[in-house]
Structure 1
């Protein structure tokens, strides 16, 4: 199965380099040489876009996996716990008070609000006596809905809805060289997650169990929160909101190989990259030469898979 994911990843990545309105094909590259327009488009646009898609798919999948370990629930990810909505609210504050802030500063603000959102969700889950497994993401969705409503209210009053929608819709259409490099920070967080994988596996068994094994539960949770916040912020300021990815991919991997985080991380990263690559290609060709927002394609497919997971596990929730 791992070999199949790797083969699909390579094939889809190669196809991604040559799909688009402009003529970038192996033939045009061979005929035009290194100084041709096709070569320029390949290295200035197609390669950065493909790399960005790979980084987003891998990192968001890992963010969802870590979130599920922290909450001990298979139905959560940054988009269903309010983390993305908190980060978006941070972006709105930047638009209001510091509209000229550099992209790195915007990512820092979004990460800080994403971290706040993760902490708030964890506190709400602890405070609310949620006994059914499927109700935990519903609590997160309601929390995110409240924050999104507040964000929309202020954006509407301040005539910033159109600007905010730029960040709210996930798309790689504007990705070019110099516009995606912050995603390498999200990629670095995947490595951090892999280094701490065994600790995340232990805290997934509960605070009491982890403490009895001598693990600093609060410290590991804090590391997980930082990983989630930074990945969410890096993706938000670069590509916008990509829904359901962090929920669906870890669950599919869990069904195949189980819940060992160290073993699951390469699978989640690879399958997440394949999933986003496939959806990005669909977004580019379904109404060619026009391009649909990636969030629409991922949302439709991800929502269907999310409902299937809920129905599949709902009867066994406790």
Structure 2
């Protein structure tokens, strides 16, 4: 057989990883275009008639533009947090909702309200970030201490820890008569978003840049402590860094928007099914799909019973629960 034919056969038999991990592909550009279209639809969706009222354009820039920007930033933040957590724990069923991280953020917010009668947004963010970091580290330490036979037990443990923290928050709220603040936080909604109340979400861009910088090390950390150490990566340090970035993103979202369940579970799993576990190449996809998912849910929440509005957490929780069950059944079928 001629040599050139042999070389051609060998090349065709090798997996084409370059095209698979390439970011700027036609599907990715199409996904960006779809998200832009969804953003335009979001800008012109709402009960207030911005075209027929005299102050329509003022309301457009006061409420509609900030809301759409908050949707995009929040979708990227929660999806990235889920992706990083799944890499660190080596478990696809892990995200801020299933690890108790979001409940710890709520407890931090509640304690800030108790210590400071009228806390600023910066104080609320600080409390949420610190407590989400502590809660996530407790969850990770618990996983390292306990040997689990099934990956399905991991999210169950996280939900149990989250339920305990939620019960503590409810008790403290009843004692200090702060239950209204807890109820407002548990109902994640973009209705209160306006100029002056969402700007801290722009820090998410910095978090995205940092995650992209350390993407390779986080991917190696996802292979386990032994492999990471053999490859020259300080496992504990990179896990601490990843936890800090997750806590920062979740804390900002919790303080500004509230509880957004299952967003970090849906998007990373869909991306990983088709693209594998390379964080650097998956991160843009996760951000874009996260933006699109939460924007679709928010548009539905604004139109399903117009002129009233359903909290977006209700739509996300319903869709996320269905996807969570599908993932569980898929893992069982593969086994």
The match for 1:23 is: 49
The match for 1:94 is: 112
1:4 to 21, 24, 30: 30
The match for 1:291 is: 309
The match for 1:271 is: 289
Q: How far did 1:316 drift? A: 4.1
Q: How far did 1:3 drift? A: 2.6
The match for 1:230 is: 248
The match for 1:85 is: 103
Q: Is the 8 A contact 1:54 1:273 kept in 2?
A: yes
Q: How does 1:1-318 map to 2 (within 5 A)?
A: 1-25=27-51, 36-316=54-334
Aligned length: 309
Q: Is the 8 A contact 2:94 2:265 kept in 1?
A: yes
Higher mean C-alpha deviation, range 12-21 or range 183-192? 183-192
Q: Is the 8 A contact 1:134 1:314 kept in 2?
A: no
* Gap runs ≥5 in structure 1: none
Q: How far did 1:109 drift? A: 1.2
2:176 & 2:249 partners in 1: Cα distance? 28
Q: Which TM-score applies when normalising by structure 2?
A: 0.90
Q: How far did 1:4 drift? A: 2.8
SS in 2 for 1:99: coil
1:259 & 1:281 partners in 2: Cα distance? 30
1:136 & 1:81 partners in 2: Cα distance? 8
Higher mean C-alpha deviation, range 239-248 or range 101-110? 101-110
Q: Is the 8 A contact 2:73 2:202 kept in 1?
A: yes
- Runs in 1 of length 4+ with deviation above 4 angstroms? none
* Gap runs ≥5 in structure 2: 1-26
Cα offsets for 1:140-191 (capped at 9, x unmatched): 0111111111111111222211121111111000100111011111232111
Structure having the higher Rg: 2
Q: Which TM-score applies when normalising by structure 1?
A: 0.95
Cα offsets for 1:231-259 (capped at 9, x unmatched): 11100111100000001100000011111
Q: Is the 8 A contact 1:183 1:235 kept in 2?
A: yes
Q: Is the 8 A contact 1:172 1:294 kept in 2?
A: yes
Q: How far did 1:286 drift? A: 0.2
